[in-house]
């Protein structure tokens, strides 16, 4: 019988890439991780690792084991979910990764709801952008991840992840209330404007640049940041123009001028959980509380 703990170590190596990273994630020394993998090789009777430079990589036989380990862990999570569902109270710890705009607006209300309905449930929140957050979900660092998808930039569906739509959040042009940019009717009027945009290479940053170039504008990006509170501040103080989602105004009155964009583009917000944990009472309770 193969040892499940050692199979988990092999799976973590496949996810994280290096023995040192696995050791940090599992709170072991690198030598202890190496010993676990050596013992797994003895149990299986096949070579699982190949040395490449100073690192290692998985053999084809190791990847067979990883594939079956994923299925085993999913079935174990299904068992845990069914066991938890048999209890009266929703308890335990739920680890959530969320990005800024959802964390600012939707998550606090969800936490208040959960505190009232399920006082025995502890929720731990970490701010992460969607891409690294989903990597953490598959590595079992998080139980629930908040994701986003921008128009024209569909996210690849990840194997083993259950997605549930949260809201479609319209994106608008945000202008200062005074000054030469305040009267613009659309992006085409802002060829000489200073822009604050998300970094190039990110989904919101690529979407914004593509929209502007389609409008015939090569943006003068004076400020590049993923911090939407900074975007708001720069627009409010007249230093830049931006694209901002409606969700930001759910609990505050905008001190900027908002203009609807052609075709009313909206980002899709959703939650993602490992498929085996989708019916866990804590996951279901959090998803229900998060619904605006």
CATH value of 4-83 in 1.10.10.10, 1.10.3720.10, 1.10.357.10, 3.20.20.70: 1.10.10.10
Where in the chain are the domains? 4-83, 89-292
261 pLDDT exceeds 90?
A: yes
Among the residue ranges 18-22, 123-127, 238-242, the one predicted with the least confidence is 18-22
CATH topology of domain 89-292: D-Maltodextrin-Binding Protein; domain 2 (3.40.190)
- Output the pLDDT for position 292: 67
For residue 203, the model assigns a pLDDT of 93
- For the chain, the DSSP string reads ---HHHHHHHHHHHHH-SHHHHHHHHT--HHHHHHHHHHHHHHHTS--EEEETTEEEE-HHHHHHHHHHHHHHHHHHHHHHHHHHTSSS--EEEEEEE-HHHHHHHHHHHHHHHHHH-TTEEEEEEE--HHHHHHHHHTTS-SEEEEEEBTTBPPPPPTTEEEEEEEEEEEEEEE-SSSTTTT--SGGG-TT-EEEEPPTTSHHHHHHHHHHHHTT---EEEEE-S-HHHHHHHHHTTS-BEEEEGGGGSSS--SSEEEEPTT--EEEEEEEEEGGGTT-HHHHHHHHHH--
Q: What is the pLDDT of residue 136?
A: 87
Q: Output 157 or 258, whichever has higher pLDDT.
A: 258
The mean pLDDT of the chain is 91
pTM more than 0.85: no
Give the confidence band of 291 by pLDDT, cuts at 50, 70, 90. Answer: confident
Reported as a pLDDT band with limits 50, 70 and 90, residue 56 is: confident
């Amino acid at each position: 019988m193969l040892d499940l703990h050692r199979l988990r170590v092999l799976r973590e190596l496949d996810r994280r890439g290096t023995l040192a990273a696995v050791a940090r994630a599992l709170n072991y020394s690198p030598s202890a991780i190496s010993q676990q993998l050596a013992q797994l090789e003895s149990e299986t009777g096949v070579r699982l690792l190949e040395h490449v430079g100073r690192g290692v990589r998985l053999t084809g036989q190791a990847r067979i084991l990883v594939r079956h380990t994923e299925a085993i862990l999913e079935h174990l999570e299904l068992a845990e979910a069914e066991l938890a569902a048999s209890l009266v109270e929703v308890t335990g710890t739920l680890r959530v990764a969320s990005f800024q705009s959802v964390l600012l607006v939707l998550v606090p209300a969800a936490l208040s709801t959960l505190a009232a309905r399920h006082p025995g449930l502890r929720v731990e929140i970490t701010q992460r952008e969607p891409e690294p957050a989903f990597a953490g979900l598959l590595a079992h660092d998080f139980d629930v991840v908040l994701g986003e998808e921008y128009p024209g930039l569909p996210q690849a569906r990840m194997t083993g992840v259950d997605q549930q739509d949260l809201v479609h959040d319209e994106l608008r042009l945000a202008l200062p209330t005074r000054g030469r940019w305040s009267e613009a009717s659309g992006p085409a009027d802002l060829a000489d404007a200073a822009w604050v945009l998300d970094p190039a290479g990110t989904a919101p940053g690529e979407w914004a640049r593509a929209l502007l170039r389609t409008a015939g504008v090569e943006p003068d990006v004076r400020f590049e940041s993923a911090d939407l509170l900074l975007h708001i501040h720069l627009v409010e103080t007249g230093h830049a123009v931006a694209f901002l989602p409606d969700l930001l105004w759910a609990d505050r009155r905008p001190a900027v001028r908002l203009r609807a964009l052609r075709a009313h583009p909206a980002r899709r917000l959703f939650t993602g959980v490992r498929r085996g944990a989708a019916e866990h009472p804590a996951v279901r309770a959090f998803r229900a509380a998060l619904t605006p």
